[in-house]
Structure 1
Amino acid sequence: MAALIEAAQAPDYPAEIVGVLSNRAAAPGLVTAASHGIATAALAQSKFPSRDMFEDVMTQTLESWGVDIVCLAGFMRILGEDFVNHWEGRMINIHPSLLPLYKGLDTHARALADGATTHGCTVHFVTPGLDEGAAILQAEVPVLPGDTADTLADRVLAEEHRIYPEALRLLASGKIAPLA
């Protein structure tokens, strides 16, 4: 999220970060966003009687900010089909693997356990299937001898910070078409 905010500060960047929403009130990203004058909201799913109601309020919040594109960054919840379909082609995510490899969690440890020689990250469109949307950009990093999940994660994270702003730039500028 911080990489997206930084990129959007450039005068020629085609997107503006208008709000940051988290499902955790203590998320550091809320403080970062607020320090840049960006609207923030924290919505705990546990405060709502159903996931649908939680996601309806998320949609209302995003729409009140005039959001065109939703960028997921560290939002570790599986989103419902209605919410995902509402934002179809306008919601993207960064995932720490070279999809379709290692969908879900613990991607770095799984790559190491498999003896992978390369690993990386993918920015993709969000679809109802977990980590199944079309890839927008990918970045590859080598798996080095002696790597741990943490050292590999650090190299992947550096690439995430590079390709996520670029993927948003491509989508916001119309250089790639939103899925519909």
Structure 2
Amino acid sequence: MSNIKAAIFASGAGSNFEAIIKANKGNKLGCDVVLLVCDKPEAVVIAKAAELGITSCVVNPGTFPSKEAYEGEIVTALRMAKVDWIFLAGYMRIVGPTLLRAYEDSILNVHPSLLPAFPGLDAIGQAFRARVLTTGVTIHFIDEGVDTGPIIDQEALEILADDTEESLQYRIQEIEHRLYPKVIKHVLNR
């Protein structure tokens, strides 16, 4: 067992969450994933975490008076679980100063474009509608901007003439599920 403890943040279906957990079987990535942090009580990822034996911390931002209070609650949960690293995996909120200060240089994100192109929401749709020939996946550190943190790795993907937005999303997710665990392992073992 590794002594590095990690939390995964997710807001939706949890395909990247699941890919990281499966890739880490036997602690192959160099960490113990001890917590799922989710901001949506109805998210599918919560059931996936339960099936995989990962504790969930569901914190609904709408029940807090401010972003600072919301993130303060999360930091408390992370500290109680002795979390060292955070992996954002489809977490659809901008990380604020409270979380950034507590986990400076210890938060990774996966983004479905070749940053700096198409930051923010709906990156796959943005690339598809812009009719670019190439898009891809970026793994980066989080900073105070939106998808502006230092890039760790990227993988390009050609947009095919017969791609739909859905087929492109599927192909992007295949890369994310392979690349993100590889980068996590590299970062944790450097």
State TM-score, norm by structure 1.
0.92
Residue 10 (structure 2) aligns with:
none
Query: Given the alignment of the two structures, is residue 99 of structure 1 paired with residue 109 of structure 2, yes or no?
Result: no
1:45-60 alignment runs, 5 A limit = 45-60=61-76
- Identity of paired residues, percent? 32
Instruction: Note the alpha carbon deviations across 1:60-93, whole angstroms, 9 max, x for none.
Output: 1111111110011111011212322321110011
Residue 143 (structure 1) aligns with:
159
Work out the CA distance in 1 between the residues paired with 2:69 and 2:36.
19
Query: Given the alignment of the two structures, is residue 83 of structure 1 paired with residue 129 of structure 2, yes or no?
Result: no
Query: Given the alignment of the two structures, is residue 171 of structure 1 paired with residue 156 of structure 2, yes or no?
Result: no
Give the unaligned 5+ runs of structure 2. 1-16
Contact 1:85-1:128 at 8 Å conserved across structures = no
Work out the CA distance in 2 between the residues paired with 1:109 and 1:152.
9
Matched length:
174
Work out the CA distance in 2 between the residues paired with 1:50 and 1:86.
17
3-state secondary structure, aligned to 1:18? strand
Q: Please, which of 12, 19, 37 is the counterpart of residue 3 of structure 1?
A: 19
Instruction: Note the alpha carbon deviations across 1:32-69, whole angstroms, 9 max, x for none.
Output: 11222211111100111111111000011111111110
The structural deviation recorded for 1:8 is 1.2
Residue 74 (structure 1) aligns with:
90
The residue identity in structure 2 corresponding to 1:5 is I
Contact 1:18-1:65 at 8 Å conserved across structures = yes
The residue identity in structure 2 corresponding to 1:98 is L
3-state secondary structure, aligned to 1:119? strand
Work out the CA distance in 1 between the residues paired with 2:120 and 2:83.
26
Query: Against the structure 1 CA distance between its residues 25 and 122, is the aligned structure 2 distance closer, same or farther, given a 3 Å change threshold?
Result: same
Work out the CA distance in 2 between the residues paired with 1:137 and 1:155.
17
The structural deviation recorded for 1:31 is 1.3
Give the unaligned 5+ runs of structure 1. 176-180
3-state secondary structure, aligned to 1:154? helix
State TM-score, norm by structure 2.
0.87
Work out the CA distance in 2 between the residues paired with 1:11 and 1:21.
20
Query: Given the alignment of the two structures, is residue 29 of structure 1 paired with residue 45 of structure 2, yes or no?
Result: yes
Contact 1:124-1:134 at 8 Å conserved across structures = yes
The structural deviation recorded for 1:99 is 0.5
The structural deviation recorded for 1:11 is 4.5
Work out the CA distance in 2 between the residues paired with 1:112 and 1:11.
37
